[in-house]
Amino acid sequence: MLRLALVPLFGITFLNFTFYVLRRVMSGSGQLHGMLLLVEKVLTTLVWAGMALYVLGVLADVVAWMEGVRFSIGGKEKINLADTLMAVVWILLTVLVALWFGSWLEERLMRSANLDGNLKVVLTRISKALLLLVSLLLSLSLVGIDLTVLSVFGGALGVGLGLGLQKIASNYISGFIILLDRSVKLGDQITVDKYTGIVSQIRTRYTVVRNGDGETLVPNEQLVAQPVQNHSFSNTNVRVATRVQADYSADPETVIALLTACVRDLPRVLSDPEPAAFLVLFADSGIEYEVAVFVADPQNGKLGVQSAMNRAIWRTLRAHGISIPYPQRELRVLGEAPLSATDPPPSKTVADTANAASAA
């Protein structure tokens, strides 16, 4: 009884110690927690099942039965159930090691000061993909599975990418194009479609654009196939503009000077390039002007600066007696109108109409 009890006791002790060490080693990477938990559950289940079969004395018979169950993969190649089970275990272990090494490599790359931000992301993704591929091939080789059987799965995967995964493949490739040609970089302020914000992440399938309303996930294909306004492509200064109308009686030169002066000392507004005002349009109700300034911190948003500009313009124009016109409509009534709602309109017969036409 003591000899039989040593088997589960040793197995439990070994499992607990092993995964305790793994959790301590991989605690720095949060993305490994789910994979480590999956490996722990699978291995714990298999070890408990093996210990139970060993104590019952049927472990050898079960292993022999699993080795006798054979099925073909990719035509002539045949493997048994025991090899398949070992392949699953080795795949989980090698993928776990590959993820851990990929996270360690990513941490080292991100801390490098000599590499561009986009290049860091590209190297991290390529290294993780290669590590996962190598771990898969290595695990299959360890259990004696011929790697040529993967050609069948490779063909099926190619057909799937060509038919059902076109958008996913397009977004994936577009993500690498964005990172390599550096048209959009981390920290840039962009406008794509109706979304404007700061690029905070460039992921495999999408790009995260952050603004005051939250974060928008823009597909990478959209950044490649559609026009994108990159406010930070040449420099970090971003133009902020607002428009206002003034009455026709106000001198345009005076209005332009007042508009330029009232926004010059606002917070976050740069003195170089200095603010400028322009006469844009002779509108129906008044003359329309545009006031433009530049800010160096677009990541803090433009709405606050625009609001401060509008308040300063309103105070300045009001202090100098310049009115901001609003649309007005003039109603002209043609012909005689009834004196009241109860009085009928003047009657006019067909004969009167014909006589008036003849006289004319």
Residue type, 250: A
- 117, 202: one domain: no
Q: Which residue, 210, 230, 250, sits at the end of a domain?
A: 230
- 189, 283: one domain: no
The CATH number given to whatever domain includes residue 273 is: 3.30.70.100
pTM reported for the whole predicted model: 0.43
- 9, 83: one domain: yes
- 207, 109: one domain: no
- 21, 131: one domain: yes
pLDDT in tens, 262-272: 999 899 899 88
Percent of the chain with pLDDT strictly greater than 90 = 17
- 157, 12: one domain: yes
Judge whether 359 lies within some domain. no
Q: Supply the pLDDT for residue 243.
A: 94
- 266, 311: one domain: yes
* Residue 209 domain boundaries: 169-230
pLDDT in tens, 80-135: 777 777 777 777 777 777 777 777 777 787 777 777 776 777 777 788 778 877 87
Judge whether 337 lies within some domain. no
The CATH number given to whatever domain includes residue 191 is: 2.30.30.60
Q: Supply the pLDDT for residue 291.
A: 95
pLDDT in tens, 13-31: 777 787 777 776 665 554 5
Domain count along the chain? 3
Q: Supply the pLDDT for residue 80.
A: 74
Question: Which residues of the chain are under the pLDDT cut of 70?
Answer: 1, 4-7, 24-35, 71-78, 118, 142-165, 234-236, 299, 336-360
Q: Supply the pLDDT for residue 83.
A: 73
Q: Which residue, 140, 163, 186, sits at the end of a domain?
A: 163
Judge whether 328 lies within some domain. no
Q: Supply the pLDDT for residue 358.
A: 47
- 149, 28: one domain: yes
